[in-house]
Every structure is written in structure tokens, then in C-alpha cells.
Amino acid sequence: MISKQNLKNKLEKLELLIDKTQPDESDKEDLFQQHQIDNCDNIRYVDNLKNQQNLTLDEREHLIYIMRTSNKVWKMRNKMLDGDWNLEDIKLDEMEKELRNLLPNNKIGAIKHYRQVMIDEFGKQVSLRDSKERIDNLSREMTYEQGLIINH
């Protein structure tokens, strides 16, 4: 397993990249973007680990989650730095994170949220059928990520 200090150094490097790729103007509703908040939370979590030699299964799983999501943000933010990523991509990514927080317990809420965000943020009317399909696909993806293959 990666050392606590090495992991913290990488998260701090990610923090610098996030700061460098922040839009000049913040959203009217949110002063901080979700990537900033999540990364600060991840750094705090790593700082608060007591004994890295005797991690619980939950702690190990959470560290793996931190590394996977940090890789995703790292790739996205580097694309932004290179000019290959735009604000719409960030909003889509943030919406996916919100949807993941609603799933699997609130599938109907996730469908409603998806439709509303698509209207509010992108001006796109998405049918109920297409919304359900998108949420079902995301739910399946989450299931595979967790290593649980369940037939729907």
C-alpha cells in the first residue's frame, strides 16, 4: 500500500493543479468547486489515519476510492490545462458525482435530478425513458466498480 506521506504529497499536487485550472469566475451559487472540496476532504482523511500498518478493510477501501477518484480528477484537470476540457465537461462530471450520491438508494430521485440539471445547466429536455436508461447505466457501472456483478 502507498505510504501515507506519499499519498498526501500526491493529493497536494492535485490540489495545486485544481487551483491552477479553476475558472476565473466562480458559480453564482457555489464559491468552491466540488473537486476542491473533495480533495481537501481526502487530504484530511489521510492526515487523520492513525496506524497505516493496521488499516481496517473500510479504511483500505476508502483509500482505494480516493486514489481512483483522484486519478479521474487528475486526468480531467490536465486536459483542462492543455485546453482540451471545457466548463460543460466539468458540470457533467459534477452532475455524475451528485447522481452517484443518490444511487443506489434513490433511483427515482436520481432520474429527476438528471432531468432537472440537463434542463437548467444545458438547456436540454431529456425524456423520462432516456433519463432512466442513463441512470440504469450509471447504476450498473457503480455495481461493477464495487466488484459486485448483479443481473438487472
pLDDT in tens, 98-139: 999 999 889 999 999 999 999 998 899 999 999 999 999 888
Query: Locate cell 432531468: which residue?
Result: 115
Of 78, 51, 82, 63, the C-alpha closest to 8 is 63
Predicted local distance difference test score (pLDDT) of residue 148: 42
Q: Which residue has the higher pLDDT, 1 or 81?
A: 81
Using pLDDT thresholds of 50, 70 and 90, give the confidence band for residue 25: low
Query: Is the pTM value of this prediction over 0.75?
Result: no
Contact 47, 16 (CB under 8 A): no
User: Where exactly are the structural domains of the chain?
Assistant: 1-85, 86-152
Average pLDDT, the chain: 85
Of 136, 142, 147, the C-alpha closest to 110 is 136
The shares of helix, strand and coil residues in the chain, as percent rounded to the nearest 5, are 70, 0, 30
Mean pLDDT to the nearest integer, 80-109? 87
pLDDT tops 90 at residue 45: yes
Of 86, 92, 84, 85, the C-alpha closest to 120 is 92
Predicted local distance difference test score (pLDDT) of residue 128: 96
Contact 2, 71 (CB under 8 A): no
Segments in the chain forming alpha helices (H): 4-20, 34-47, 57-81, 87-102, 107-122, 128-145
DSSP state of 95: H
